[in-house]
Amino acid sequence: MDINEILEYLPHRYPMLLVDRVIEVVPGERIVAIKNVTYNEPFFPGHYPHHSVMPGVLVIEAMAQAAALLSFKTMGGKSDDQSVYYFVGIDGARFKRPVTPGDQLVLEVSIHSIKRSIWKYAAQAKVDGKVAAEAELMCTLRAIE
């Protein structure tokens, strides 16, 4: 999936869209996506300006966006203005190394389970084949009331 197709599936836009490309998706199983981290990201001037580090919460958000893409592909649908795909939980989040400008974040997410509209995923973000962050994520699709 290129950026144009990603924009069809996710409601996120600059500066919150954190997935640039999907290189593999197996509906119902897994996704591998890319976030190219550049010095031009809006958070770098204010987050450790003397040593630029991508905020861990945004690394987690990037994994959650990849999870949303996987879910929409699995369900055969796209984001719309009638519902929101909420991020509802994080377990076991660990940060193994900093993510800095010039890094390519490889987001690997697999479906762990789906119960009562709660999707659980195992997620990792890697740089140069080494784990930068990992977590178990939970998301759900809810109608906007």
Q: Which residues are catalytic, by number?
A: 47
Distance from CA of residue 54 to its chain's centroid? Answer: 14
The Cα–Cα gap between 117 and 89 comes to 13
Distance from CA of residue 30 to its chain's centroid? Answer: 13
- Beta strand spans in the chain (E): 21-26, 30-36, 83-95, 104-115, 118-127, 130-143
Are the C-beta atoms of 10 and 69 separated by less than 8 Å?
yes
Start-to-end CA span in the chain (Å): 31
Long-range contacts made by residues 46-53, C-beta under 8 angstroms, separation at least 24?
52/100, 52/101, 53/98, 53/99, 53/100
